[in-house]
Copies of this chain bind each other. A is one copy, B any other.
Amino acid sequence: MRQSTTQITIDTRRQGLVDITAPIRRWVDAQAMQSGLLTVLCRHTSASLLIQENAAPEVRTDIEAYFERIAPESSSYLHDDEGPDDMPAHLRAALTQVQLSIPVIDATLALGTWQGIYLFEHRRRPHGRSLALHLIGD
């Protein structure tokens, strides 16, 4: 049994879902484990992680619109240090999650056919988002 860890940075350009399946899969494949457990931690509180549909791009547009609707920009928040998109970002991160664990089975991530891993950027301006990756197995 062994472990691998790394940190990667994802550059986001705007609010919304960024497909990060490929870089994560590449790193997992490079560790050459037959069986194991991958954990990804988004080290921020205004961006989050989501496993979602990787085919129809309209799903992502609808998800983005939905979270804008249920956790809207508003003047009623106490916290707005970094602007009107600050507090909604924390709420959208709270409604999704900042960490995911995915089994590795038969030397590959056990994601379903239609599942991709997404970084969900909740701030309007571009950010460099740091992800911690941990893999244990053999």
Contact = CB atoms under 8 A, between A and B. Distances in A.
The number of chain A residues touching the other chain, given as a range, is 35 or more
A102 B99 CA distance: 7
Interface in A46-84: 50-53, 56, 58-59, 61-63, 66, 70-71, 77-79, 81
A67 B77 CA distance: 13
Contacts of A56: 79, 81
A24 interface: no
Contacts of A58: 77-79
Contacts of A2: 1
A95 interface: yes
Contacts of A130: 112
B59 A79 contact: yes
10 contacts: A1-B3, A5-B105, A7-B105, A45-B52, A56-B81, A59-B87, A59-B90, A61-B78, A63-B91, A110-B134
